[in-house]
A = this chain, B = another copy of it.
């Protein structure tokens, strides 16, 4: 995909840089993981430092020192999941700022206005995004919504099916308003978002209407809010097939390696997820065989690298221009020490490793596509490939 700040290869994994920084890395280090696109969160940036400050600084690229493509979300998801919702209506959402408690109004027009000011290369439509599972009965990772829904449910005021239907219809209506409000279509690509939860009929209804709006790309939303792998894969397969083949398809907030592989096979081109970065800060490394937790005592005297053969700055410092003593990588015992001591370098090294891991996955996926060699891919990524439903597509 080509943007005013350069092209990126697809399928692409975008690194999450919520507040205008991929936590724990300089932009040069983000690039060294072979990450090509960074995602910023509109909700966080509009509250602090405010979109005006970013616009005055020359836009998000210059503010954060990242010359490559940037994508911003619409702020909707965070407005729903992180704030006490005071009011959702056909006009927009009112919520309390997590920074200073003030009341904030977010509408399709305001979201696009903020995203125009921030200046990302790809911006997202403002959608109505309730949890896909009934929060009054099922598990959800959106605790505040769940509490509100339970409260409404007790009062007899919450009907999950009705809520999903409203959200679906509203998202389509809001998309038209987003497109109309978009003032920088020459510089910023607006993507529409398909909603509909795990109800495939609702997905079809939404996808047909969203795809009918002529836009440079389309996203599948509402599939990374606590569902099981099979649900994610099923909804993705169903929805991706309904979106234009000649436009990029973006699966928002997904995910684990196997979810990504399954989605690529369904025709998805773009991904973002906090997993590699957030889990790095919690001391978890992704390796091809699974994950490692460095707070675990078994790493206390383990002097091997995080992963043999890995080319990241932690596992292969020499490959990144740094001559360590005896050419050795940073060892697991050192990483454990850093995490047990609360040292910043622990999250930094694991973020470098985990982003490298996900970008290696994407490179190998692109290679499998180019050479039509999925068996070769399955050999390199046995866990990621084996977990794909209908894996005969691969093997």
Cβ of A66 under 8 Å from chain B: yes
Contact B61 A337 (CB under 8 A): no
Bound-complex Cα distance A65 to B305 (A): 12
Cβ of A387 under 8 Å from chain B: no
- Which residues of chain B come closer than 8 Å to A65, judged between CB atoms? 317, 322, 324-325, 328, 330, 334
Cβ of A103 under 8 Å from chain B: no
**A269 to chain B: closest CB distance in Å?**
25
- Which residues of chain B come closer than 8 Å to A301, judged between CB atoms? 53, 56
Q: By CB atoms of chain B within 10 A, which of A48, A59, A344, A345 has the most?
A: A345
| Copies per assembly | 2
Partner of A344, one of B24, B27, B326, B331: B24
Contact A53 B333 (CB under 8 A): yes
Contact B349 A26 (CB under 8 A): yes
Partner of A23, one of B325, B326, B343: B343
- Which residues of chain B come closer than 8 Å to A57, judged between CB atoms? 303, 331, 333-334
**A47 to chain B: closest CB distance in Å?**
10
Closest to A28 in B: B322
Contact B26 A325 (CB under 8 A): no
Partner of A337, one of B19, B25, B27, B324: B19
A contact set with B: CB distance below 8 Å? 5, 19-21, 23-28, 31, 44, 48-49, 53, 56-59, 61-67, 300-301, 303, 313, 317, 320-326, 328, 330-331, 333-334, 336-338, 340-341, 343-345, 347-349
